[in-house]
Each structure stands twice: as C-alpha cells, then as structure tokens.
A and B are shown apart, each in its own frame.
Chain A
Amino acid sequence: MARVITPRARIGYTAAAWIVALTLFFPILYTIITSLKTEQEAIAGFRMIPSFTLSSFEAVQNQNNYWRPFTNSVILAVGSTLVALVVGIPAAWAMAFSPTKNTRGILMWMLSTKMMPAVAVLVPIYLIFLRTGLMDTRTGLIIVLMLMNLPIVIWMLYTYFREIPGEILEAARMDGASLKDEILYVLTPMAIPGIASTMLLNVILAWNEAFWTIQLTTTNAAPLSAFIASFSSPQGLFWAKLSAASVMAIAPILIMGWFSQKQLVRGLTFGAVK
C-alpha cells in the first residue's frame, strides 16, 4: 500500500515503528551491552554504556573452547536441513502436483508427529542410540533433527509448490519435456526461492534445538546449546560471562538471519498469501 501520506504522519509512524522495534530488540541489545561490561558493572544497576571490556569473552573462551560446539552447530543445522530437503522436496512435489484425497490428511498427520513430548520418548531413543552407536555422533543428531523438522519442511515446500501454476508443467509436457527436464528446467528455477526460505527456517529451528542436542551428546557432537548449558547458573552471579556466552551462541544465527531476512520472510508465508 504505497499510498501518499503527509510528512507529519510519516514521522509519527516512523517514531512509533522504531519504538516498537527497539523495545522488542532491547533484551538482545542489553545482553550484548552486558557482555561488554565487567562483572561488577553487570549487576550494578541499569547502564547502557559498558566499559567495552572483552574480558568476559576471554573468560568464556578459556573455560570452554567455543569453536568445537560452533562447528558442530553449523554441521548439525546445515546437515539436517540438507537431508530434510532431499527427503522433503520429492514428497512435497508429489503432494503438490499429484494430490490425492488423502494429501491434506497426510500433511496433518505429519505435523501431528511434532506433538509427542520429546522428554517422554527420551529413554527409548537413548537406548536406540546406544545400541546403534549413534550416541554422541553428528550423524545421529542430524537424523533426529531432520526427522523433527521434516513435517515443517514438507508443509512449507508443499504450500510453496502449490503456488506454481500447473499449466506451465502441462505446457512443458506438451513440448515433449521429460520428467528430468521438467524438474530441472521448469520447476527448479521457480521453486528455488521457496526452497531457500524453507532451508533458512529449518537451519534456525535446528540451530535452536536444545533438548536432543544436549541429551544425545557428550563431547564430540555437542553443539552450542550444550555450550550455553555450561554457563547457566554456576556458583555466583556471572552475568557478564553469561551474556558473553549467550551472544556467542546466538550471534551466528542472528547475523545469518539479518542477511537473509528477505528470503526468510518470503518463506514464512506458508502459502498464506493468495
């Protein structure tokens, strides 16, 4: 709605929007500020200007090497996303272009698999992981994270693929395009934005998963969720350190989110826009 408004209204809207945005962002901003304070400053009352010390980050890094969990987080988030796409794209494609009367039911069933409380199935999964040697391996976690997010992936892709007009496929088929050509040259270019945003959302969800990633790892595969669990409530209130660890845990995904914001927003529509 790019309608003309008066400059005064524009100033009003701008001010209101910025107030809302800064309010919502404030907890994150304040965490970043606190991470740059000394411990004494951190609990010494409200102050927006820190002393810009990096000592908390150093202390965190000394206590727990950041790079191993960071690498694991990247591998788990990206790995589980890629596998989910490999499994999810054909399924979503099939459901979007050859729907049966059960399609909606199947989709809802898939979503409903997410309703099982994870903690109730921990012991069975733990035992399976022990028996199969998947415990504390990235492979094991990639499988679990992939399965957890697969319903969402399929649903997003499905709604996205459905937007692609079927006539184009018909036309391509008329022109004698093979199935391979059809997928490669007709569908893929149209689907890429949808796939990209699905991928982004899935990376975020996998990155932020904090139950299985802690319960099924010890050292080799432990990602940043385990890293942050080693800083919450130690002896004494170390808020600068906790803030530094929090910043380290969320910064990568936050920055990725900022840069890919446009693609992500498109993906978040879930076909809600007609």
Chain B
Amino acid sequence: MTTTFRALLGATALCAIGGAAAAQDPVTLTIATVNNGDMIRMQQMTAPFTEANPDIRLDWVTLEENILRERVTTDIATGGGQYDVLTIGTYEVPIWAAQGWLAPLEDLPDDYDVDDLIPAVREALSVDDTLFAAPFYAESAMVMYRTDLAEAAGVTIPDNPTWTDIRTAAEAMTDRDAEVYGICLRGKPGWGENMAFLTAMANSYGARWFDTEWAPQFDSPEWQATLTDYLEMMTNYGPPGASSNGFNENLSLFQQGRCGIWIDATVAASFVTDPTDSTVADSVGFAQFPNKDGVDNHGNWLWAWNLAIPASSQKQDAARSFVAWATSKGYTDMIAEAQGWRAAPPGTRTSLYENPEYQEAAPFAAMTLEAINSANTQQSSVQEVPYTGGQFVAIPEFQGIGTQVGQTFSAALAGQMSADDALAAAQSSTAREMARAGYPK
C-alpha cells in the first residue's frame, strides 16, 4: 500500500511543479465569457490589444450562459481566484459588488470617457456611485413586427403601443394555415428566459414581485391580468410548442417569417434586419415595449453583459487595462471598421447613437436608445417596491425563485395547469423561499 500511495503522491507533486513552472512572465489573464455573438467576436479581435501589450497573454474560458454563471459564482464565492476578468450580467453586479467580490473600476484611462456611458446602464452597474463593471453591450426590450403583414391585415402599430393594440394586431396577422403566428413571446422556463419577459410585462401591467414587506404579489389582480392575457394571446395567436421557445427559438421563427410580432431584447433588432440570416429583413418595424391602458410603464427591461474584475484576481492592473480596452470607444470603432457598423456592440455609449454612420446603418438605433433611456431599474413598477432591477429582482434568491416560478408559468403555457393554479403555486413557492432566506430583512 505505502509504495503505491507514495508513488501516487510523487506523481502528484511532479505534476504540480510542472504546472507552476509554466505560469510565469508574461502575465496571463484568464477571461470567462459567455458564448454569444458579440463576445466571440471580441475574442477573435484582440490582436490590437495583445500587440500593444506584449506582456499580457489572454486565455479564454467560453461557456454557455448558465454553466458560466454556475462556474463563476462558485469560484468567486469561495475566493477561488481562477479568473481575472468575468463576463457578468446586470443582475450579478450590484449583488456581488455588495459582497465585496468585485474590484471597483477606478483609475480608468482618461480617454475611456466614463461620462459617455448611457446613464441608465452606468447607474445599473454602480453601487454608491462607484462603477463595478464596464458594459460591453446593453439592451432593453421592444416590439419588432412585420410591416408587410400589418399592412396586409390592415392594422397599424403605433410607436408607443398598448397591449390592446398588440393583441388586436396579433389577431389580425395570425394565419395558422400559412404557419404565420401573430405573436411570439418567450415561454421557455428560466429567470432569464420567460420570467425576464413576464416580469417586464407585469411591470407594464402595474404589477410588482414584492410589496414593501417582501410579501410576494402573485395573488394581486395585476399579476392575474398579466398571466391571463399572456396565456390567452399565446394560446390563440402564438406558435405551437411555445413553452419551449426562448430568445433563440423566437429569433429563428421571426427570421423565417413565422411571427407577426415579437417582443424581446433590443439586440435582436440587428439580427432580424440582417439580410444574410433573415428572410424578412426589409419589412421589420419597431415600437416601444407596450403598456397597459392607463399604466405609465414600459416594462423597464434593462440588461447588459459586462466585464468585471474579481477582487480575488492577482492581476488587477493587467485586467483593468483589458477591460478598459474592450469597452472603449476605440473598440467600437475598430469593430465598425472591420465588420461594419451593424456589428458594433450596442447600447452602452451615447457617442455611438450620435454617430450618423451608425444611425444610417442601424435603422433601429433611435428606438433602441429610447428604450434603454426610458428603463428605470430603481423603480420598476408603478407601485412601491423594495428592490431594484427591471426584468428581474436584484436579490441573490431571485435566480432560484424566478426559475421556479418560470417553470410554473411554462407549465401553464403548456396547458398543464390553469392560470389561477399557476399563480397560486408561484405565490406559495416564492413565499416559502423568501421565508427561508429570512425576508423581510
């Protein structure tokens, strides 16, 4: 036994030495990113940075969003220090910053021009006026619709539609025999999937997740109206199998001309108007996120993918220079030059939206900017709320709660339970989790 064991230990030690010897100058930054188009583009465009900083090497960990979140959260919460730059969402930033897990982004280079960041985005990434993450791209939500179908059906969608307008238009555009469905909305369960949409929709209906005592509000008439209308629209005018449709599936359906209206993240605008992927690129109209008659609220959807530096990283300076480079104006210009203005990461800088070339290339620019600017993440509902966040609630427990509620609503959409049962189940599961987490705090 002893010999084998000793041999094993020896082998371990040898390998450990080998590993340590390899990690020396130059500095290697380990960057964790999500596998969406903009991030992958960045990964392939880093040559200017590495040329300007020959002592910095970049090592990428690209993962699917949920796996990335799990992986990065475990590491940062245990102080693992495996990553030097993290790609995280607006949901994590305030929570992690409050835990002291993120290094504040101070002393950024002068040409970074922090004041150029769109105020709503900057605010969402700051705690007590200190920036904790740099936005790579940002989005709100808006209505995308087929102008040709709307015209053929004899309906118009105003720039600021109400849900009644949307419902009427969806009904008119639906043609099941031609496999054209009036409205496509997210149905796939998940706090960042159907619940992102439904939370924004609930906001626009005047609903809220919690009252000021942190009691869940699924038993309120506002939530009931939200869910009932959502189910009714999707059942009558939505595509089959909608309970498995997330952003990707709806994007694909819209690009193939199967959807009359799609309400989703503003980043989709550049995909649906891109003639190489979209069969309907020439006939897409845009409008603001709808609101319910008499409720002054457009959902307040605001999301950004951001670069942040964990406090546990040993290479803060190098990491900061990379973050500053990747979210700078210069990066935007470089992408625009190499791949056209449409490929520029949207939503983060005012200067981009003031740029006539961008306005020319991206017909949806004005609508996107308006949507982002009008998103109020500090006060997402017309009723008083104890939390921040637009299409989510910025508390650590929300991932779990939101996904659980999302499952319930998805089951309702799949026809496995009624709206009332789904709301009751959501109410009790949320109350249970909140009690466990010790709210009200």
Q: Do A and B bind each other?
A: yes
Contact across chains for B252 and A218 when beta carbons are under 8 A apart: no
For A63, what are the chain B residues with a Cβ–Cβ distance below 8 Å?
A: 40, 43-44, 62
- A87 close to B (CB within 8 Å): yes
- B63 close to A (CB within 8 Å): yes
Q: Return 30 A-B CB contacts under 8 Å, by A number.
A: A39-B277, A43-B252, A62-B44, A63-B40, A64-B62, A87-B4, A90-B4, A123-B78, A126-B78, A135-B80, A137-B16, A139-B19, A143-B12, A214-B71, A215-B70, A215-B71, A215-B74, A218-B30, A218-B82, A220-B19, A229-B64, A230-B64, A233-B64, A233-B248, A234-B36, A234-B40, A234-B248, A235-B247, A235-B251, A236-B271
Interface residues on A, range: 35 or more
- A86 close to B (CB within 8 Å): yes
Complex formed: what's the CA distance from A236 to B82 in Å?
Answer: 29
Q: For residue B31, give the distance in angstroms from its CB to the closest CB of chain A.
A: 9
Contact across chains for B30 and A219 when beta carbons are under 8 A apart: yes
Which chain A residue has the least Cβ–Cβ distance from B13?
A139
Q: For residue A111, give the distance in angstroms from its CB to the closest CB of chain B.
A: 21
Which chain A residue has the least Cβ–Cβ distance from B15?
A139
Contact across chains for B251 and A236 when beta carbons are under 8 A apart: yes
Q: Scoring A residues 133 to 177 as 1 if CB is less than 8 Å from chain B, else 0, what string do you get? A: 111111100010000000000000000000000000000000000
- A118 close to B (CB within 8 Å): no
Which chain A residue has the least Cβ–Cβ distance from B81?
A130
Contact across chains for B36 and A130 when beta carbons are under 8 A apart: no
For A87, what are the chain B residues with a Cβ–Cβ distance below 8 Å?
A: 4
Contact across chains for B78 and A234 when beta carbons are under 8 A apart: no
Complex formed: what's the CA distance from A171 to B30 in Å?
Answer: 61
Q: Scoring B residues 59 to 76 as 1 if CB is less than 8 Å from chain A, else 0, what string do you get? A: 111111101001100100
Q: For residue A183, give the distance in angstroms from its CB to the closest CB of chain B.
A: 15
Contact across chains for B37 and A235 when beta carbons are under 8 A apart: yes
Which chain A residue has the least Cβ–Cβ distance from B34?
A234
Contact across chains for A137 and B64 when beta carbons are under 8 A apart: no
- B249 close to A (CB within 8 Å): yes
Q: For residue B346, give the distance in angstroms from its CB to the closest CB of chain A.
A: 13
- A20 close to B (CB within 8 Å): no
For A265, what are the chain B residues with a Cβ–Cβ distance below 8 Å?
A: none
Which chain B residue has the least Cβ–Cβ distance from A129?
B80
Complex formed: what's the CA distance from A229 to B37 in Å?
Answer: 15
Q: Scoring A residues 224 to 235 as 1 if CB is less than 8 Å from chain B, else 0, what string do you get? A: 001001111111
Most B C-beta atoms less than 10 A away, residue of A43, A63, A133: A63
- B361 close to A (CB within 8 Å): no
Contact across chains for A219 and B74 when beta carbons are under 8 A apart: no
Contact across chains for B36 and A235 when beta carbons are under 8 A apart: yes
